[in-house]
Amino acid sequence: MLNKTRIKVRGYHLDLFQHVNNARYLEFMEEGRWAFFDEFFDSNDWMQQDLVWPVVNININFKSEANFGDLLEVQTHYTKMGNRSVTMKQTIVNVQTDDIVVEADVTYVCVSKAAKAAIPFPDDFRQKVELSIASLK
């Protein structure tokens, strides 16, 4: 599954140099991840479980700048499944120019709130992620 979320660059996204501040891209990617989860999960039941999914690593590469008024598309999908971790690829593309603005790999860990420790992913979640990854190959 590939989610595509569009964001228009506003004035408050800009820095002193009049292009999108690098910290804003993290916010854009977070918006893309939440939109992905809205589609990926059947309901908000996953938020009521004993499990949480903290981000433990973001590896981000800035490729080109974005400016006021640009329309950006945040593309989000799973790429790798581990025993206790899952990695997503996020790409931000300038819709008008097709330029890649940002590429990032975001890694989550499955944590039990009760145990306060990383645990293996539940089988149903693992199967759904693996199907999602396979559908993009």
Where in the sequence numbering do the catalytic residues fall? 15
Count of residues for the chain?
137
Adjacent-strand bridge partners of 40: none
Pairing of strands 55-62, 100-109: antiparallel
Adjacent-strand bridge partners of 67: 19
